[in-house]
Amino acid sequence: MPTTTAITASGPRAGTGGPRRPAEAAALGAALLGFFVITLDALVVNVALPSVRDDLGGGVTGLQWVVDGYTLMFASLLLSAGSLTDRWGARRIFGAGLVVFTVASALCAGAPDLGLLVVARMVQGAGAAVIVPSSLALIREAFPDAKRRARAISLWALGGSAGSAAGPVAGGLLSQADWRLIFLVNVPVGIVAALLLARARRSPRAVKAPFDWAGQVSAVLAMGALTFAAIEAGSSGLTAGHVLAALVLAVVSAGMFVAAQARGRSPMVGSALLRERTMVLSSAIGFALNVGFYGMIFLLSLYLQQAEGMSPLATGLAFVPMTLLTAAVSPTAASLAARFGARMPVITGQAAMAVGLVVLALVPATAPTWLLVAAMIPVGAGGSLAVPALTSLLLDHVAPEKAGTATGVLNTARQVGGALAVAVFGALIARPGHLETGLDTALCLAAATVVITTAASFQLRPATRG
């Protein structure tokens, strides 16, 4: 996929001013708003889950699908969305994703039952999957100069941090009035982003390449079947027939995906990239970071309301200290990486997250809520420190024409980690009377996952520059 080369070479000379500046600002504004709103929607629902259940009914399994339906489609379609961006241009694909996401948000707000809400959330996730790679490609097109592009991507990442920070609070505040407002708020944001996109420059003609149908279909089947099995195991048991069938489908589909990447004429990823050490380690680290972060958000959103009796608004406010520091730490990751190397913030961030998860697991049920709130901080701040440096490190190791594919793989691994965390951890707390023990077990599992990847992170090496 030589899109990076084609895009970088297009447009006026890097660093020139003039008419490009308004178009650059418009492209960056649209990309930032798009990333903000899809990150917001990944978290805003968690705090509102009890309100959704009170209104539409359903048990823990149904609520898991409200969260995982979004994340599953997000993760499954990221790679193909990158391919579509390469084929048809970032501006067009970003606009299409924005329309899908905004319309699906309106459908979520009007869902009459839990089943239709889950379907609308899945459509939302599909739109989000299109927005992420196309928003980065949009920035790459708008900013040919590498230094200015790096600053623009930092602002783009800050939009995601702001979405993470606002998610739990917005969910708690809006669900006090009506949980449907958490989806309606996306509509005006989507309209503003579309207006900005209209002022951005047209994308250059992309290089055409065959679409990897075998790879994409097998990837969707593998991740969908695995997540379905994890969710259903909580209510039906691991030995249930449909759970075992889903696990078999997941394994077979994963094998088909690997074969398609090794033997296909135009693979989405390619076996060489899948074998690259930095790619493998980065994906594993990204997976573990989302297991810890999204797993903790899901668990504590339910625990604080069910065991502690807190309102949705109070629960959202409990996440404020963590989310504020998460947003504040993210911009420092680049400066720390520049001074000490990218590996340092990756390792330090994971270590902080692991410590926070262990402390949360050890906090007794009789402890004051403020202690839980304090223990959340290293979990969120650690992830915010590690992810930007991890992304930078990965991009340093891949050729420019593989940058989109590599970040697609990384973000897919992260989304799968978040989806499986909600699925597996939800199963642990689903049994009656097991909320507290399931919570502690899940947090320990998350901590162990992060500890393993922290140790593996010492194998990361800085890129050699020619």
Query: How confident is the model over 164-177, as pLDDT tens digits?
Result: 767 777 887 888 88
User: How many whole angstroms separate alpha carbon 10 and alpha carbon 445?
Assistant: 48
- Region 267-271 average pLDDT: 76
Model confidence at 201: pLDDT above 70: yes
- Region 80-89 average pLDDT: 75
Could you tell me if 153 and 28 are in contact, meaning their C-beta atoms sit under 8 angstroms apart? no
Give residue 3's pLDDT: 34
User: How many whole angstroms separate alpha carbon 225 and alpha carbon 216?
Assistant: 14
**With b meaning 16 or more CB within 10 Å and e meaning fewer, what string describes 315-337?**
bbbbbbbbbebbbebbeebbebb
Does the CA dihedral 11-389-77-323 come out positive or negative? negative
- Region 17-32 average pLDDT: 75
The percent of residues in the chain predicted with pLDDT above 70, rounded, is: 88
- Region 231-237 average pLDDT: 69
- Put simply, whether the predicted model's pTM sits higher than 0.85 gets the answer no
Model confidence at 383: pLDDT above 70: yes
User: How many whole angstroms separate alpha carbon 327 and alpha carbon 329?
Assistant: 6
Residue 188 — pLDDT band, cuts 50, 70, 90? very high
Model confidence at 19: pLDDT above 70: no
Mean pLDDT of the chain: 81
Give residue 362's pLDDT: 92
Give residue 334's pLDDT: 63
The percent of residues in the chain predicted with pLDDT above 90, rounded, is: 23
Which residues have C-beta within 8 Å of that of residue 124, sequence separation ≥ 6? 41, 70, 73, 101, 104, 105, 108
- Polymer length of the chain: 466
